[in-house]
Structure 1
């Protein structure tokens, strides 16, 4: 592959002259410009687009950091970011961290080294201050979905607390008074907000809350937690699961014991994953606007690029989607 030095040698000028000519930063005599054009054509020279962009201080790429891509929620969000970024002339470089802190830090180094112009960042684990310090050392970062305490960047979240309130209120209106909450990690932002919304609804109805259980947003944790609840002998009439994946595990544990949803135990989830309406019964759940989360995150990042001031915090609304997993409790 020909280099700019090859073109310069063939045209009998300096590489700097060729570079400035190609970037329209230098007017040359027609004869000199003709020699450069002829050399470019003869050598089939193609400028290094990435090097050119970096020399101008930009990569025309953004980074998207996600805990995992197999999860339908993150996949839908990533697709929306990519689609919206393309409209504005940006490529998207995606990193799936698998919940590993070192990969999250590595993505921030790519921003420092100018491989990307900015980052849209999601995490799914509590921070000990390491990630917050790394984010605060960078510019052009937007957090979405989960918070990192102590980080001073634009943030886009959903109304977790309101969603949990809607879910719990729906169960209360159906007549339930023994409602257990099985949520995500106890010190994770979204899980704390969803627990708070659950407690808000119970307090409003003057219902004493049973102990809550917290762990990973996963089917395995939902299964394990619900088995333990059923083994305790304190069988609830309803469960509010902090995610649809937890709800799947809860449903499996209920069926293992020969019980049924919703005849014996009602169930509400959170997320509205694409599979939620395919379960038997269809899962009543709180719908998060995954695609809009991605688009809003990108808009905030573009505002940073253009030196505008995006909102410090943007909250997107959630809705309750009623299906067949809730019924009145048995007398």
Structure 2
């Protein structure tokens, strides 16, 4: 840093400001320092910086140990947001056979992480987050949980996403809208059930029994077969994710039903390729980038001594060809 200061003709403190608080430095001086950094190939020694500031600029990220679309994309969004904020991140899975909450906490403490972001779609990961919060600031990304004690909450409003999907189908004239649900121990699956039910009730429509599903296309196909076996086949189905919807599309096609003429289908997630299903899938897109940024902003605020309020993001309904007006049979 002294070499950079000499090259740029500024003080050591000015170089430090350019690296840590660039907005405090005049643009011309800032540019001169950055040119000197580039010319000299200067890289900060993060270990030395951690000793001097008692901050590692390292964030721990806890995932549920699954490769499903939602958790994996939330994790990627956190990593991108952390890097943009000047932090590195290290990830640990909490539910696999080799990692308990205690082991993960010890791992993060050994690395001297400044704080932790937990992707907590399930009951097990949410419970584990409480154990991590005894020693470090913890931000939890989950679905519409109540204020979770020492944890700082960032949510996606899956109830509203499900309400929007259901309202779309009701607005198309459908009066029998079924729901194929995700696993019962996932908070977002529960929230989507609640949103579907509340929207049907608000519309004055009958709320049928939930159809058990899961998260994969095979479970969606099996759920579609069960719906087809009913005496009163629904005219529209809201699926808890796009893979379930894909299975439904196949089941209906095998039975000779046309989507959306005979039955409309709406999914959730907007997974890559959903626009190329047959027909292109109406779905609900999750704001992963926004949530990742909110999680990192919340953690940085906590590290600065603030008490940020819980934040929530609304998903976006994406209308495509798989949902159409109700046609009387």
Give the TM interval when normalised to the shorter protein: 0.7 to 0.9
Give the alignment partner of residue 265 of structure 2, picking from 267, 270, 279: 267
Matched residue, 2:306: 308
Matched residue, 1:317: 314
Q: How many residues align?
A: 284
Q: 1:88, CA displacement in angstroms?
A: 2.8
Q: 1:55, CA displacement in angstroms?
A: 7.9
Matched residue, 1:282: 280
Shift of the 291–129 alpha-carbon distance from structure 1 to 2, 3 Å rule, reads closer
Task: State yes or no: 1:225 paired with 2:219.
Answer: no
Give the alignment partner of residue 78 of structure 1, picking from 55, 75, 78: 75
Task: State yes or no: 1:87 paired with 2:87.
Answer: no
Q: 1:192, CA displacement in angstroms?
A: 2.0
Ranges in structure 2 where 5+ consecutive residues have no aligned partner: 1-43
Aligned to 2:225, what secondary structure does the other structure show?
helix
**Structure 1 stretches of 4+ moved >6 Å:** none
Q: 1:308, CA displacement in angstroms?
A: 1.6
Q: 1:217, CA displacement in angstroms?
A: 2.5
8 Å contact 1:285–1:322 — kept in the other structure? Answer: yes
Matched residue, 1:100: 96
Residues in 1 aligned to 2:97 and 2:120: alpha-carbon distance in whole angstroms = 9
8 Å contact 1:157–1:314 — kept in the other structure? Answer: yes
Matched residue, 2:38: none
Task: List aligned pairs for 1:195-234, cutoff 5 A.
Answer: 195-234=193-232
Shift of the 76–138 alpha-carbon distance from structure 1 to 2, 3 Å rule, reads same
8 Å contact 2:139–2:295 — kept in the other structure? Answer: yes
Shift of the 92–308 alpha-carbon distance from structure 1 to 2, 3 Å rule, reads same
Q: Compute the TM-score of the two structures, normalised by the length of structure 2.
A: 0.76
Q: 1:247, CA displacement in angstroms?
A: 1.4
Task: State yes or no: 1:141 paired with 2:130.
Answer: no
Residues in 2 aligned to 1:256 and 1:283: alpha-carbon distance in whole angstroms = 18
Shift of the 83–286 alpha-carbon distance from structure 1 to 2, 3 Å rule, reads same
8 Å contact 1:73–1:273 — kept in the other structure? Answer: no
Q: 1:79, CA displacement in angstroms?
A: 3.5
Shift of the 83–128 alpha-carbon distance from structure 1 to 2, 3 Å rule, reads closer
Q: 1:59, CA displacement in angstroms?
A: 2.6
Q: 1:248, CA displacement in angstroms?
A: 1.6
Give the alignment partner of residue 187 of structure 2, picking from 186, 189, 212: 189
Shift of the 296–57 alpha-carbon distance from structure 1 to 2, 3 Å rule, reads same
Q: 1:86, CA displacement in angstroms?
A: 2.0
